[in-house]
Chain A
Amino acid sequence: MSQYRKGLWRGMLAAAAVAGFVTSASAQMAELKIMAPAAPGGGWDQTARSMQQALTQSGLAKNVQVTNVPGAGGSIGIAQFVNGAKGDGSQLMVMGYVMVGALLTNKSPVTLDQTTPIARLTGEYEAIVVPANSPIKDAKDLAAAVKADPAKVTWAGGSAGGVDHIAVALFAKAVGADPTKINYIPFSGGGESLAAILGGKVTAGISGYGEFESQIKAGKLRLIGLTTPAGKGTAEMPSLKDQGVDLEIANWRAVVAPPGITAEQKKVLTETMDKMAKSKEWTEILKQKGWDDAYQSGDAFAKFLTEDQTRTKEVLTSVGLVKS
């Protein structure tokens, strides 16, 4: 099965070319395939397509193809990637924090340890918002409400067990409420949850800041706080930590390579990413999309990935999202 898929997803554009097409370590890559383990349009897909744009425009790679393998928070994509692209130094897969949680909640047989970590690209802080007419004005009000009765504070966010859900659980924990008692309502898409918040159907909403930006600017939503580190907040973009809620979390996105690639192949991929991260084109895209640069590659990223997996598992178990 895996063999066929590898062939299948390679088929985009005219490139039936054989794997491992890297010409030399320093020059441009002739061919690169980036898998977005999600349907077109989502965050991972946009990351993959932005990489495609930056890599081709800056001349770091000649031919970049993006393939989509949607399903189960990336569980299908990673299974296919790990089995089908083994040893192929011309493939990358976009992944992120959501996948860490999804693999745990789906009890996936494939884990991220089986991939070759290459680089972390972006990070997006979570934003907590309330409708503009809400009596809740800041994080203190929200914290008080959650502490008084977590059931009465309803949260709209993304899929169950995802980064939004984890962040809400951590919020409850940080303000001294029982994180297993939060009233979190998962919605299928960003559009649906945003509509529920705007319509005042829920108390608060949580998602990446970009999702809410235009509504906040239009005065339809009030920003309660961002999950940024202490001291990073401003009057317009207040940090939760500065408001006394000890919650710091970022929805990062990264790329990994298939298992079993050679050290040389790994070096080429890492260098390409390093160069892309510094390119004018990539910086431009980050600005345009409102993504924060969280670039980290090599061993530092590998270490980060391992640590984050352990931490996420602890959180998910402690809030009852995963039965240990």
Chain B
Amino acid sequence: MTTRTPRRIDKAGLLIALVLLALAGLIWQDMSSLQLSSVYGLGPKAMPMVVSVGLAILGVGNAISALQGGLPERESLDWKPIVLIIGGLAILIACVKFNVGFIPATAVLFACTAAAFGRRAFITDLVIGFAAGLIIYLLFAKLLTLSLPMGPLERLIGA
């Protein structure tokens, strides 16, 4: 049991509650735009209603626990690694979208994630990621005939 010392209001907790309420509203709004209904029994609106109402109640519940400071203590947060990893993912998605190919995309994601975990040798990691991507590509695309995104490089190997 945590000691019941009065804590200050948890702003992040309130934000979570707000997000839940917004989600409930979104589901409700989407539900009310449904045109067709089932002829017999329950229609397509019943489940969204249940989920929406449930989320709204839980939103209130979360707000109460945030006001009471019921959320667990959190340690300080280092945003840099998060930005690095999400950035790596974003570059990977861009690579896939713009046909840069699987291997370079993999190399970038690998190096970014490694950097997020404290590695300083970005170029080395890029090379390692590249090699890993190449091996995975050859193994899965060639041997197991899975289709992976192709860029100029992959086409070169494939030809």
Which A residues are within 8 Å of any B CB, using their own CB?
Answer: 1, 3-4, 7-17, 67, 151, 180-183, 320-321, 323
Contacts and interface: CB of A to CB of B under 8 A. Distances in A.
Contacts, number: 56
Given A151-B40, A182-B39, A14 B147 contact: no
B99 A4 contact: yes
B148 interface: yes
B96 interface: yes
Contacts of A67: 147
A11 B154 contact: yes
A155 to B, nearest CB: 12
The B interface is mostly helix, strand or loop, or mixed, namely loop
B36 A7 contact: no
Interface residues of B, number: 22
B98 interface: yes
Contacts of A15: 158
B159 A16 contact: yes
Contacts of A9: 147
B145 A13 contact: yes
Contact of A181 (B39, B145, B147): B39
A8 B148 contact: yes
Given A4-B149, A7-B154, A183-B39, 12 more contacts: A3-B99, A4-B96, A4-B98, A7-B99, A11-B147, A11-B149, A12-B145, A12-B146, A12-B147, A14-B158, A16-B159, A321-B36
B141 A11 contact: yes
A17 B154 CA distance: 11
A8 B40 contact: no
B142 interface: yes
Contacts of A181: 39
B135 interface: no
A11 B158 contact: yes
B97 interface: yes
A16 B158 contact: yes
A16 B99 contact: no
